Structure 1
């Protein structure tokens, strides 16, 4: 996993690919607000995963005001995506572990995230990685299609 700016061409290529995936699954782009500065120190970090020199995955975290699982210092997982050609190879699980380790290193106690009901593979990844359902938060907090999860990472 390589830490990059969200504005890096490889990052932008994959961010656009995930937006196209949202259009296919939900009929529109993700409109939740994202400021590129959210992924710069000390607010957060953005990563791109490569296979054979080709960018195939993104993942990021940004500090959050959401309290979850008794943690006061949290960060939100954003822009988790793996291109179809690299799926089912453990790339998403490695990216998630990397996000947890880097967030833990920055003093984060728990990660929170939001995903959609039309992304069952994402829900399965989070549940099988120890994430627990939590009440909705953020931009999609009132959406019937949204599911939110959290995991304590400070003792992992």
Structure 2
């Protein structure tokens, strides 16, 4: 089966399966921590305007396989040199095939073309598959891994796109305290 990556917008009807599936997945994963998990998940996915995910400062891609949306992701501007990855998703029946890694690589390539030198992201403490994806893709965890993930709530990662082995260029992205302590 072949797939194609399409540059689009969160407003594209083809993006709706990604948004709907992420809403369901976030709600299910965090239900024990948020009684209003469906509303919280929907609010999180509606938090940013679609314009933030369009060039020249952002990007939004979907992956189509046999005419169906099976993956995707986006980035928006974090600061002048840093793109922030958002909405990385692969449909459940397409996971464990390297598709998410290809989405991340496609977004990194677009970020470089758009003038960013670094990528930043946060993922939730109930998403260990995402942690593994980012670590395997060369991202540096910007949190104290000796502290339980649920204390952090949001787990930040970053990568220097120019020199992926460099971590000194990521220092300013590191939070001063666990992100959960800020709420």
Query: What TM-score comes out, normalization by structure 2 length?
Result: 0.74
**Bigger radius of gyration:** 2
State the structure with bigger RCO (CA 8 A, min sep 6), 1 or 2: 1
- The aligned counterpart of 1:101 is 109
Aligned residue pairs, count: 145
SS of 1:63 mapped into structure 2 = strand
Offset, 1:135: 5.2
For residues 125-147 of structure 1, the C-alpha deviation after alignment (integer angstroms, 9 at most, x for no partner) is 101111011259xxxxxx63210
Name the structure 1 match of 2:89.
Answer: 81
Paired position in structure 2 for 1:53: 67
Tell me, which stretches of 5 or more residues in structure 1 are unaligned? 66-71, 137-142
2:181 is matched with which residue?
none
The match for 1:36 is 50
- Identify, as 1 or 2, the structure richer in helix: 2
Q: Which stretch shows the higher mean deviation, 110-119 or 10-19?
A: 10-19
Which residue is 2:9 aligned to?
5
- Structure 2: tracts of 5 or more residues without a match: 32-36, 145-150, 165-183
TM-score (norm 1): 0.86
Tell me which moved more, 24-33 or 118-127: 24-33
- Give runs of ≥4 in structure 1 deviating > 2 Å: 30-33
Which of residues 14, 17, 34 is equivalent to 2:18?
Answer: 14
Give how far 1:106 is off: 0.7
